[in-house]
Amino acid sequence: MTINAAKLARVQGWLGDEHKFGVYYGVETFGWTMDSWLYEVSKYNDANRPDVVYIKVGGDTLPTEWYQGRFRAIRQIFLNAGIGCAPYIFARPAYWDANVQLASKLAGIAGGIVLDMEESWTSDTTPFLAQIRNTIGADPIIIVTGK
């Protein structure tokens, strides 16, 4: 298999050095404030700071942005601390249309999106991914995880 070197470089640039690590936040949203996110950043010192955090931005039911339009500000808190921040969506086939809208919006903010397609492998995901790619264009990164 041939790897597209330019695309691989963009992915590594977006996520950071491939040999370093990221942290996934799947947090309850009730009562979370910007101070809460500042606290999350403050937990890391230079020795154990992750390069990237994945912020789960949509729920496991009908996808709506958990943070009511605050993802850009949350992401900036991490960026200000030198930590990359990528939006993460658990994509369910029953809600693909809503997922496309949410993924497109957040990929435009962050330059990419991480999609957990764990529940989707029994379905043909090609049309779903094509719809997202057609909406966000070629530049944002789409990373698919799962199964």
Question: In this prediction, what percent of the chain has a pLDDT beyond 90?
Answer: 1
Helix, strand counts (H, E) of the chain: 5, 5
The pTM of this model reads 0.73
For 15-33, write each residue's pLDDT tens digit.
655 434 566 665 555 566 7
Residue whose C-alpha is closest to residue 57's, from 133, 108, 126, 4: 108
**pLDDT at res. 26:** 59
* 67 pLDDT tier (thresholds 50, 70, 90): confident
Integer angstrom CA distances of residue 41 from 80, 82, 90, 123: 10, 10, 23, 37
Tokens of 44: 């890391």
Tens digit of pLDDT for each residue in 91-102? 877 888 888 888
